Amino acid sequence: MDNKKIAVVTGGSRGIGKEIAVKLAEEAYVIVNYNGSEEKAAQVVREIKDKGGNAEAVKCNVASFKECEKFIGDIVERFGKIDILVNNAGINKDGLILSMSEEDFDSVINTNLKGTFNCIKFVSKSMIKNRYGKIINISSISGVAGNPGQANYAASKAGIIGLAKRIINVNTIVPGFIMTEMTDVLGDKVKENILSQIPLKRFGTPQNVAELAAFLASDKSSYITGQVINLDGGMIM
């Protein structure tokens, strides 16, 4: 292994996570974390390698404290460091709070919020020891403004914003409505209503998020920390 930076992208097998992994692979060796789909993660790795980069897929349920400890520990043992951590893994199980089950609330909080905590906890020791590290948390506009039927998701994403701001360089990206599998299921009327609230009159793309993540992961952002950056087309000003 050369002097390339080591980057870990959780939930890197699809959507925003995939685009971030592909973008970071231009400068770093990328660990593409997945939990559900090994094949999708393998496809991301193949795409990275086809473009001349290097990556590997590693399974870990970030909601599990023990799995996360082993996942991060194994990477640090192999490479001696983790330079970049992107906490992107997330799920949603929407529903009105009156009908939301405890299981649906807990599973979203455990993956989105606790999973972010787990990764930060286990990577921070190595980063502090090496006196270098970039942690980029992916929140959501729902965590800033809330969203009907998303009490669990909004709470988890709001928690991410307040979770950590002073360990090495830690910043949070707050995407607005980004065209992913999560937003594909929205009906046309819902999409029209959302677009009417966006000054730029268009949805964002995973590539938009990836470009910002790549900047925050680079040395060009070395004097930026503790920031919450909205990437929402001006929806919240």
Active site residue ranges: 153
Amino acid at 227: Q
Contact 118/65 with Cβ under 8 angstroms? yes
Distance CA 1, CA 18 (A): 23
116, 56 in Cβ contact below 8 A?
no
Give the span between the Cα atoms of 132 and 172, in whole angstroms: 18
H-helix segments, the chain = 15-24, 38-50, 65-79, 102-108, 115-130, 142-145, 151-163, 181-184, 188-195, 206-217
CA-CA distance, 70 to 74, in Å (whole number)? 6
> CA-to-CA distance for 23 and 212, rounded, in angstroms?
10
C-alpha dist (Å) from residue 31 to 56, 140, 182, 204: 5, 23, 23, 25
